[in-house]
Every structure is written in structure tokens, then in C-alpha cells.
Amino acid sequence: MNHDPDCIFCKIISGAIPSRKVYEDDEVFAFHDIHPWAPVHFLLVPKTHIPSMAQAGPGHAPLLGRMMVLAPLLAAEQGCRPYPEGGFRILVNTGGDGGQEVHHLHLHVIGGPRPWLKG
């Protein structure tokens, strides 16, 4: 797998920086956001270092599809109420204009009863 030794998310995935893990398998790692916007707020990241959605290519489609299918399962496990009354938001920031702060592709999965801090 491709890793960036200077990337904070690569360090979290490797265990060099502690996190509150939500889920892990061979390709994906999920952990709670350290500054949550809502009662449920975790990040779902590929273990392979992909800097942003702008660098995702056709070869990443199966991985990204798995992440999108996994997000609602983890959201429910973390306490999001069921659709349609409940739900969650999936947010992917890309680049500076998109608000991306850590340059390792990640999905914010955000939910829980409103009002939320942001969004």
C-alpha cells in the first residue's frame, strides 16, 4: 500500500498516532473526528494514501464504492437514527477551495439529532 510518511492520517492508520477507532479492514480505516460537528462524526479513509478526490482514478472505483456502502452501516452502529427520519451526511472536501485540511482522501460521516455545531 502507498503511504506518505508525513501524512497525519497515514500515521493514524499505522498506529503511530492514537485514534478512537470505529472500524478497520484490509483497505479502510475509520476513526472519530477529534473536533466533531455533530453527535456522530467519524472519518472513513482508505489505507492507501490518495491525496484527494481529485487524484482518484478508475482503479479506485471499487475501493470508493466499498467506502460509500460501508458509511451507512457504520453510521447506524455509531448511533445515527434510521432513514427517513434520521440519517447522516457524507462530506468529502477536495483541495484548498473545497476546505480540505488533511491531504489524504477521507469521508466525513456526520449525523445524529440536530442542531449540529456546523452544517
Considering the entire predicted model, what is its pTM? Answer: 0.95
Whole-number Å distance between alpha carbons of 46 and 24 = 10
Residue 106 appears among annotated catalytic residues: yes
DSSP calls for 5-35: TT-HHHHHHHTSS---EEEE-SSEEEEE-SS
Which of 33, 35, 6, 37 shows the shortest CA–CA distance to 19? 33
Q: Which CATH architecture has domain 8-111?
A: 2-Layer Sandwich (3.30)
pLDDT single digits (tens) 51-106: 999 999 999 999 999 999 999 999 999 999 999 999 999 999 999 999 999 999 99
Of the residues 49, 103, 104, 106, only one is catalytic, namely 106
Domain boundaries, the chain: 8-111
